[in-house]
Amino acid sequence: MSLNRGFRSIFFNISFFLRASSAGLKFIFVIFLANFESTSLVGEYALLATISAIFIQIIGFDVTTIVGRELHKKDQLGKFSLIVRQYLVYAGSYILSSILIFISFYFIVKSSLVLSLCFIFIVLLEHFFTEVFRTFVSLVKVKSATIIQFLKTAPYIVYLMIYSFISDVSLSLEFIIYVWLINLLIVFSFFVFYLLKELRRRSFKCVKVSFQECKTLVFDAAPYFMVIIFGVLFSNVDKIVISKYLGSEVLGIYFTYFTICSVLSLLISFTVGVNQGPVAIKVFSEKGVLDYISVRKKLIADYIKVLAFGGFFILVFGLIYLRLVESAQGFVNYITFFLLLLSVVFLSFSQVYKLDLYLLKKDKEIVFSFLSSLILNLVLLSSLTPNFGVLGAALASATSSLYMLICFYFLSKRVL
């Protein structure tokens, strides 16, 4: 029995390895670009990543939040019907959002028709696989979700780095986009084959879904869609402000620091979040508040452990990295990195208290927390960044992230 428990341990199973690899490769790729390619390319890639992150989160109106909360209350056929409605909403949103994605890339990143069209497909496929991942996690199919996440991320990043080393040719934004898209198309083809095979094996019958049902799903998700918009702006507005006031090269440096710190949030998501979040939601849905509070204590304890140990190692790595690439503004860079890491810690830990409000359907409280945090962030960024550069942007992010954590904590304490 002890051997079985050890085999299932998160630190030794294949699922954790793949999640860590996916997160680690994104981080390594940015470090690779920062050290072996031009700073301007890092800045361009930062803009590309920022725009794609914004659209990936707002496409689909965040109906997955409602689906995730209701899924465990349904029988097998009810779950299938709800998921079908969810992805029909996504299909409609893809049509509506394509023109906005095209405009954003064409006028902000690069004025190229071909690249803009490629970027549309990249964003839509990235969103699709992100939602497939979340669906599988909601169904507590963590390993399947992890394999998809790994395949859509790892191959193209590994290929780009190996190609750059072997050919001794500098990478370009165009080449990155083409390889990224080809990888997504290949994974999508395999996924469609897998999906059709599973549907035949489980003998799912066709379900009738009306337009009104899809419309209701979108309206029910409206508060969370507002939260997503505020959250996306909150997480990405600093890069946009830096690009405007300080230029793409400075953005490239800031984005490198941000990427290193973001490994901590990915670590939380791929360990505690993926494994215990769906379980906590299921316990609340099936057994009620008292049992959820018991599970929540373990959730908080694990959050603290991962944030403490993960934060320490990322801090050590960041200090070593900064020491190796230290510039004339070395001290400023150290403080900037530390503030960005604090920002990630505050935001990650706030998710525990946000989950309380989400399960208790305190939608107005969640919207208030995100909106007020966004306003504070915008005010601080617009006043600090022009005067203090990246240090001001990092200070604004850390302060507004701490404010968000405090908001969620006290609102959760009031209702739970």
Interval 27-42: pLDDT, tens = 788 888 877 887 778 8
Confidence at residue 204, expressed as pLDDT on a 0 to 100 scale: 59
Residue 240 has pLDDT above 70, yes or no: yes
Give the phi and the psi of residue 62 in degrees, each rounded to 5. 55, 35
Average pLDDT over residues 159-178: 89
Is residue 229 domain-shared with residue 167, that is, in the same domain? no
Across 15-24, 44-53, 103-112, 253-262, least confident range: 15-24
Structure-token pair, residue 407: 């908001």
In a shared domain, residues 203 and 265: no
Domain assignment present for residue 7? The answer is: no
Q: C-alpha 196: how far from its chain's center?
A: 28
- State the pLDDT confidence band at 203, using cuts at 50, 70 and 90: low
Q: Which of 178, 199, 220 is the last residue of a domain?
A: 220
Residues 6+ apart with CB under 8 A from 278: 68, 137, 138, 140
pLDDT at residue 3 is higher than 50: no
* Mean pLDDT of the region 384-410: 94
9 within a domain of the structure (yes/no) = no
Within-domain flag for 8: no
Is the model more confident about 386 or about 269? 386
Note whether 314 and 339 are same-domain residues. Answer: yes
Query: Which span out of 149-153, 280-284, 327-331, 345-349 was modeled with the highest average pLDDT?
Result: 345-349
| Same domain (yes/no): 133, 232 | no
Contact in structure between 94 and 59 (CB atoms under 8 Å): yes
Domain enclosing residue 278, as ranges = 222-416
Length of the chain: 416
Q: Based on the domain organization, do 205 and 325 belong to the same domain?
A: no
Share of the chain above pLDDT 90, in %: 31
pLDDT of residue 216: 83
Q: Percentage of residues in the chain with pLDDT exceeding 70?
A: 89
In this structure, is residue 345 part of a structural domain?
yes
- Look at residues 183, 203, 220 and tell me which one is the last residue of a structural domain: 220
Please tell me the total count of domains within the chain.
2
* pLDDT band for position 11 (cuts 50, 70, 90): very low
93 and 124 Cβ atoms separated by less than 8 Å: no
Structural domain includes residue 370: yes
Shared domain for 135 and 241, answered yes or no, is no
Does the reported pTM lie above 0.85?
no
Mind listing the pLDDT tens digit for each residue in 335-373? 999 999 999 999 999 988 998 898 888 888 888 999 999
Q: Are 216 and 248 members of one domain? A: no
One domain, residues 200 and 293 = no
Of residues 57 and 174, the one with the higher pLDDT is: 174
Which long-range CB contacts under 8 A does 394-397 form with residues at least 24 apart?
Answer: 394/254, 394/257, 394/335, 394/336, 394/337, 394/339, 394/340, 394/343, 395/339, 396/238, 397/238, 397/339, 397/340, 397/343
Residue 144: pLDDT band (50, 70, 90) is confident
Most confident of 89-103, 162-176, 263-277, 357-371: 89-103
* pLDDT number for residue 43: 80
